[in-house]
Amino acid sequence: MSLKAQVEAIIYAAETPITLDQIVALVKDSAEIADSTQLRSQVLLAIGELKAEYNADAHGIEIRELAGGYRMSTKPEQHELVRSFAKSLKPPIRLSLPALETLAVIAYKQPVTIPEISEIRGVDSSGVIATLLDRKLITTSGRKDVIGRPILYKTTKEFLLRFGLKDVNELPSMEEFEKLVAQSFQSDLLPENSAPAQEALQEHSDVPHEAGKTA
């Protein structure tokens, strides 16, 4: 990858304005330029070229110098269009820890009944099922052919969209699932070092823990 492409990717990914020194530090290990002064000069040159390219009418975004750093932003003439798009986006979903645990069990054991979910979690899970149904993250999947014929539950297309998955076969390991939960649902209710659902799932699982992990 060229230095210019690296600089472009870094500025694009930065949530806040990133300084020249930060960019230089990030690219120095992969750059073929050993001299730090020369590397700094080449990074500045790449930024200048990128700014000129994005200034063209063919682009709706630009690279701006803000607060001592660089950041990509939409051009002023596109603000109204982007504002309309932002209003159409679905707001982030916040779920309680019990709901997150229940969702994890359904995702990895589907189709599954409420009694089975409750057995894995160790507590009654019927109360959070309605929340997950309301958020369209799960749906019914018929009834299990046992006494009482309990309802089976599975995840939905909305679940796949929220987690960026093509299908349930792409479900990651449980550790990666927790990271996806934090990112997709922006939840501050999931303890970083507490994973009762993960431990219970592993205990009740018939397949190796890493079986769901993608390559």
Taking the CB of residue 97, how many other CB atoms lie within 10 A of it?
15
Joined together, the tokens standing for residue 78 give 């596109």
Summary mean pLDDT of the chain = 80
Q: Is residue 67's pLDDT more than 60? A: yes
In the chain, the amino acid numbered 87 is K
Query: Cβ contacts of residue 133 below 8 Å, gap of 6+?
Result: 139
Q: Is 132 left (phi over 0), alpha (psi -120 to 50) or beta?
A: alpha
Partners of residue 112 on adjacent β-strands: 153
Q: Where does residue 120 rank: exposed (0-12), middle (13-18), buried (19+ CB within 10 A)?
A: buried
Q: Which domains does the chain have, with CATH numbers?
A: 3-76 (1.10.10.10), 97-212 (1.10.10.10)
β-pairing, 151-155 vs 69-74, is unpaired
CA distance 129 to 139: 9
3-state secondary structure of 184: helix
Higher pLDDT, 23 or 161: 23
Amino acid 194: pLDDT: 41
- Residue-wise pLDDT for 123-149, tens only, equals 888 889 999 999 899 999 999 999 989
Quote the DSSP letter at residue 150: P
Helix residue spans in 17-96 (DSSP H): 20-27, 36-54, 79-88
Amino acid 160: pLDDT: 85
Amino acid 153: pLDDT: 96
- Residue-wise pLDDT for 45-62, tens only, equals 999 999 999 999 999 999
CA distance 64 to 76: 12
Amino acid 112: pLDDT: 93
Confidence grade of residue 111 (pLDDT, cut at 50, 70, 90): very high
pTM of the complete model beyond 0.75: no
Higher pLDDT, 176 or 74: 74
Taking the CB of residue 63, how many other CB atoms lie within 10 A of it?
22
> With contact defined as beta carbons under 8 Å apart, do 162 and 93 qualify?
yes
